[in-house]
Amino acid sequence: MKWNRNFSFLLFGQALANIGDVLYIVAVIQMVFALTGSATISSFVPFTITTAMFVSSILTPLLIGKVKLKWLMAGSQIGKTILLIILGFMLVGVTKENYYFIFIFIGWIALFDGVANPIRQTLIPYYVQPEHLLQANGIAETVTQTIQAGMWFFGSLFLIILTSQQLIWVVGFLFVVSCSFLCLLENVSQQMDSSLGKIEQIKSGWQILANIAVLKRIALLDFFETIAGTVWIAAILLVFVNDALHAEENWWGFINGAFFFGLIVGSIYCIKYSASIEKKLGRFIFLGSIGSAFITIWFSLNSIPIIALLLSFFVGFFSQIKSIPQQTIIQTSVSKEQLATVYSLLGAVGTSVFGIGSLSIGALADLLGIRIVFVISGLLLALGSLLVYKNKHLFNGTNRKNSPSYY
C-alpha cells in the first residue's frame, strides 16, 4: 500500500491515544488501589469504563451527520485530553474519603472514547482505496494489538519510577500530540438525512442491521464470539492456570502474552497476503472461526503449560485472520455514510454482551468447573463457524454492492 497521508495521521493519532489509554488505566487502577486497598473497588475501573462506552455507543448515531467525522474523531480526543488534565490536577487532593471523584472523571473520559472507536473504523474507507482496504485494516490491527501487548507490561514498569499522577501527565502529553495528528485529517463529505428525529436516527441503525443479510449474520456471529471470548479475561484464565494447568501464576502472563502475539502475527499475515485473502473473505472467516473453535476445545483438555502457551498463540492467530476480513466486509456492505452508525451499534451490542457474558461465564466456572467453560467457548465458536458456512455466499461478497471486486 502506498504512503497515504490521511491514513498515516489517523494511524499515528490513534496509536498515541491507545498508548495513553493503557497507561492511564494502569495509573488510575494503581491510584484507586493505593487509596482504598480494595481489589474489588479497583475492578470497578474497567467496569465503569465499559458501561460508559456502552452508553456512548448508543448515543453516537445522534452526532453523526451533525458533526463532521473528522471533528467527531479529533473532538472526542480533545475532550478526553481536557478531562485528563483536570483529573491530573485533582489527584493532588484526592483521599480515601473522596476517591469516587476519580470514577466520575473516568466515566466521562470513556464517553468520549466510545465516540472515537466507531469513527476510526469508519474513516479508514474514506482515506484508503478499496483495493487496499483489507491491508489497511491489517496495519491498524497490528498497531493496536502490539500496543495492547506491550503497554500493559511497560505501564507497570513506569509505575516503578513514576507516581500515578506523573504517569497521568505523560498520558496528557501523548493525548496532546494525538490531537495534533487528528486535527490534520482532511474533512470527508457526508450526506445524511437531517429530517430524522433522535429516536428515528437510532432506529435507522438497527434497521440497517436487520435489512442487510450479511450484517445480520455478522451481528449474530459477534454475539456468539463475544460470549466465547469472555473465557480469556484475566480472572477466568488465572483460575485455569491454577486449577487446570497447576502452574505458577506467572504462566497466566505468558499465556496472555502468547494470545496477543498470535493476534499480531495474524494481522501481519493478513497484510502480507491481502490480495489473496481479498478474493476469499468468506473462506478465511470460516477458517478463523473453526480453527479458533478446535484449538479452544483442545486448550480446555490440555494440562501441559507449554502446550497451553502454543495453543493460546494459535487462538489469537485464527481469531485475527477472521476479524480483519470481517471488518472489510462490514466496510463494504453499506454506504460510507452509514458505517459510523453500524459500528456504533455493533459496539453497543458487543459491550453489553461482553459484560453479561463475563458474569455468566464466571458463574458457570464455579458451577461446572473451569475446563467446561472453555469447552462451552469452543462450542460457541463452532456454532459461529457453522453460521458462516451456511451463509458463505454472503460472506464471499456475491451480494455486496460495495465490495472491492466491483471497483
Contact indicator for 315, 259 with CB cutoff of 8 Å: yes
Q: Can you tell me the mean pLDDT for 252-276?
A: 88
Closest CA to 289 of 386, 196, 188: 386
Total number of residues shown for the chain: 407
Cα–Cα dist 190/68, whole Å: 8
Residue 399 binned pLDDT confidence (cut-offs 50, 70, 90): very low
Assess if residue 191 is contained within a domain.
no
Assess if residue 49 is contained within a domain.
yes
Decide if pLDDT at 115 tops 60.
yes
Residue identified by cell 466510545 is: 114
Q: What pLDDT is stored for residue 195 in this prediction?
A: 55
Q: Can you tell me the mean pLDDT for 102-114?
A: 89
> What is the number of structural domains in the chain?
2
- Judging by beta carbons within 10 Å of its beta carbon (0-12, 13-18, 19+), is residue 303 exposed, middle or buried? exposed
User: Do 262 and 349 reside in the same domain of the chain?
Assistant: yes
pLDDT in tens, 154-196: 776 787 888 888 889 999 999 999 999 999 999 887 665 555 5
Decide if pLDDT at 146 tops 90.
no
Cα–Cα dist 345/399, whole Å: 22
User: Do 110 and 237 reside in the same domain of the chain?
Assistant: no
Q: What pLDDT is stored for residue 406 in this prediction?
A: 26
User: Do 181 and 208 reside in the same domain of the chain?
Assistant: no
Q: What pLDDT is stored for residue 1 in this prediction?
A: 55
User: Do 278 and 167 reside in the same domain of the chain?
Assistant: no
User: Do 255 and 371 reside in the same domain of the chain?
Assistant: yes
Residue 338: all three cell numbers together: 452509514
Domain boundary among 142, 164, 186: 186
pTM of the predicted model as reported, rounded to 2 decimal places:
0.79
Q: DSSP per residue over 264-320, as a string?
A: HHHHHHHHHTHHHHHTTHHHHHHHHHHHHHHHHHHHHH---HHHHHHHHHHHHHHHH
Assess if residue 194 is contained within a domain.
no
Contact indicator for 291, 314 with CB cutoff of 8 Å: yes
Domain boundary among 159, 186, 213: 186
User: Do 253 and 351 reside in the same domain of the chain?
Assistant: yes
Full residue range of the structural domain in which residue 328 is found: 199-406
Q: How would you label 93-114 residue by residue, b for 16+ Cβ within 10 Å and e otherwise? A: ebeeeebeebbebbbbbbbbbb
User: Do 262 and 131 reside in the same domain of the chain?
Assistant: no
Decide if pLDDT at 252 tops 90.
no
Cα–Cα dist 137/142, whole Å: 9
Domain boundary among 162, 186, 210: 186
DSSP 249: T
Max avg pLDDT among 84-98, 128-142, 197-211, 280-294: 280-294
Cα–Cα dist 135/201, whole Å: 32
Helix (H, G, I), strand (E, B) or coil at 233: coil
Cα–Cα dist 220/214, whole Å: 10
Residue 3: all three cell numbers together: 504512503
CATH number of the domain where residue 19 is located:
1.20.1250.20
User: Do 99 and 212 reside in the same domain of the chain?
Assistant: no
